[in-house]
């Protein structure tokens, strides 16, 4: 018995990785723009939206990983297997468009960071980020990618920890903001954008695939049960890290801009970095830019992986960087995303439009996932329980209505 207890923490650490790969998807440059707008415009009042959206994200990501563990198929492969061809192609084609939109925001964020750090113009910087990301994606196996992402997430987390340590945070107001829903005047577009930036369609496809990087026997029920248990721990741990980093962004923006100004929303990442220098010192602006660069690169890698996963699934094949389907899927995701940036005149507007595209596609992915994981034909005895289905449908409808609101408000 003593030996068994000693092994438990080590077993948990062994399974950490897939969740962190997904986590970078909701600490990407699009999130930075939304969170900084929330903190600078409304102080600590919108922290509750980070809490609510993270809870919904945990439910959806765990459910997506559940599909991958039980069936051995990612969401894209499962759609190809169990949904008629025409409907499947529509669903997965829109998912590919969402991945391209996501990748555009990630590359753009990295390019903005290069401009802040080295004065490299946005367009050449975008191409440089593209080259770096393609190199990382095509030359690393799952385990290497995981280690790279864990390193980047750690550095981003420490960067924001440093930022909030030198900023004057009103922790009492922050504690209230995390749990008390508040709807300040004219705040709905920002509230919806925070939600849309956290719950992202490409992450659901990605998580259902990368959870399978751990090999196991689907014929062994005990192995499946163990995988489900540790996957939930990994997801919960990773999403809490994402919640903390997103919260830190709002805290930093609230302390730096809202209290020291008139509550004017900051809507430019480069301006944010330069504005931090006189408020918090030159080191703060440098740390902000480096963290943005790491966020742009790491989230671009996961966006490319998601695109490869979705595209391979269209042909009912798993993600494998040695296969032509996966390689083409990554290129179809990343190259058009970088090319689109060349025609964008306003980087911030580029981030906004990418979030709007995600908002349109997100309900399609969520409803597809729930239908698959609710089916006994697909999941067998591991199909969603009635109670879980009720919670998932409430989550799906909430996300849908809020994202429709974001889309309408954007126009």
Nearest to 76 by CA among 61, 89, 58: 89
pLDDT in tens, the chain (411 residues): 333 444 454 454 455 556 666 666 667 777 777 888 888 888 899 999 999 988 988 899 889 988 988 888 989 999 999 999 999 999 999 999 999 988 998 899 899 999 989 999 999 999 999 999 998 888 865 567 667 767 777 777 777 778 788 778 888 999 999 999 888 877 777 877 787 677 788 888 988 887 765 555 455 566 666 666 667 777 788 888 889 888 988 998 888 888 655 556 666 777 777 767 766 677 777 888 888 888 888 888 889 989 999 999 998 888 888 899 999 999 999 999 999 998 887 776 666 667 667 777 888 999 999 999 999 999 998 999 999 999 999 988 887 887 676 666 555
- DSSP conformation letters of 348-385: HHHHHHHHHHHHHHHHHHHHHHHHHHH-HHHHGGGSPP
pLDDT at 356: 66
DSSP category for residue 45: T
Strand, coil or helix: 25:
helix
pLDDT for res 88: 92
| pLDDT attached to residue 221 | 64
Contact present, 47 and 178 (Cβ < 8 Å): yes
Q: Mind giving me the DSSP string for 207-259?
A: HHHHGGGS---TT-HHHHHHHHHHHHHHHHHHHHHHHHHHHHHHHHHIIIIIT
Is residue 405 within 8 Å of 192, Cβ to Cβ? Answer: yes
Q: Are 247 and 32 in contact (CB under 8 A)?
A: no
Q: Give me the helices (H) in 262-323, please.
A: 269-280, 282-314
Largest Cα–Cα separation, the chain: 64
Residue found by looking up tokens 């995390």 in the block: 178
Q: How far apart are CA 254 and CA 45, in angstroms?
A: 9
33, burial (CB in 10 Å: exposed 0-12, middle 13-18, buried 19+): buried
Within 13 Å, how many C-alpha atoms sit on residue 1's CB side?
A: 0
Domains annotated for the chain, with CATH where assigned, are 2-410 (1.20.1740.10)
* pLDDT score at 368: 95
């Amino acid at each position: 018995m003593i030996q068994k207890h000693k092994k438990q923490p080590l077993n948990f650490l062994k399974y950490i990785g897939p969740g962190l790969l997904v986590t970078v998807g909701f600490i990407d440059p699009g999130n930075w723009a939304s969170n900084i707008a929330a903190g600078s415009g409304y102080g600590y009042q919108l922290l509750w939206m980070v809490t609510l959206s993270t809870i919904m994200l945990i439910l959806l990501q765990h459910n997506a990983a559940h599909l991958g563990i039980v069936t051995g198929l990612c969401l894209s492969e499962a759609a190809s297997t169990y949904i008629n061809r025409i409907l499947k192609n529509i669903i997965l084609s829109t998912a590919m468009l969402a991945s391209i939109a996501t990748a555009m925001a990630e590359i753009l964020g990295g390019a903005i960071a290069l401009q802040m750090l080295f004065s490299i113009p946005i367009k050449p910087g975008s191409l440089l980020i593209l080259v770096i990301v393609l190199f990382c994606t095509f030359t690393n196996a799952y385990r290497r990618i995981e280690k790279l992402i864990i390193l980047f997430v750690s550095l981003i987390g420490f960067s924001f920890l440093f930022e909030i340590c030198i900023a004057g945070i009103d922790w009492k107001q922050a504690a209230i903001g995390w749990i008390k829903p508040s709807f300040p005047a004219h705040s709905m577009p920002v509230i919806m954008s925070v939600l849309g930036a956290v719950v992202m369609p490409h992450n659901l496809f990605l998580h259902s695939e990368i959870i399978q990087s751990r090999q196991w026997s689907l014929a062994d029920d005990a192995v499946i049960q163990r995988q489900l248990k540790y996957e939930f721990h990994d997801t919960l741990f990773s999403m809490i890290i994402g919640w903390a980093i997103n919260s830190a962004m709002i805290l930093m923006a609230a302390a730096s801009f809202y209290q020291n100004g008139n509550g004017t929303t900051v809507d430019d990442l480069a301006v944010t970095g330069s504005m931090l220098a006189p408020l918090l010192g030159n080191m703060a602006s440098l740390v902000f830019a480096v963290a943005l660069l790491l966020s742009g690169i790491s989230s671009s890698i996961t966006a490319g992986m998601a695109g490869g996963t979705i595209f391979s699934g269209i042909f009912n094949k798993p993600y494998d960087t040695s296969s032509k389907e996966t390689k083409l899927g990554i290129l179809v995701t990343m190259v058009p995303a970088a090319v689109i940036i060349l025609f964008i005149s306003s980087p911030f507007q580029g981030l906004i439009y990418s979030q709007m595209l995600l908002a349109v596609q997100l309900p399609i992915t969520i409803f597809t996932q729930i239908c698959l994981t609710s089916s006994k034909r697909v999941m067998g005895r591991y199909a969603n329980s009635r109670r879980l289905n009720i919670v998932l449908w409430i989550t799906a409808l909430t996300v849908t209505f809020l994202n429709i609101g974001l889309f309408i408000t954007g126009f």
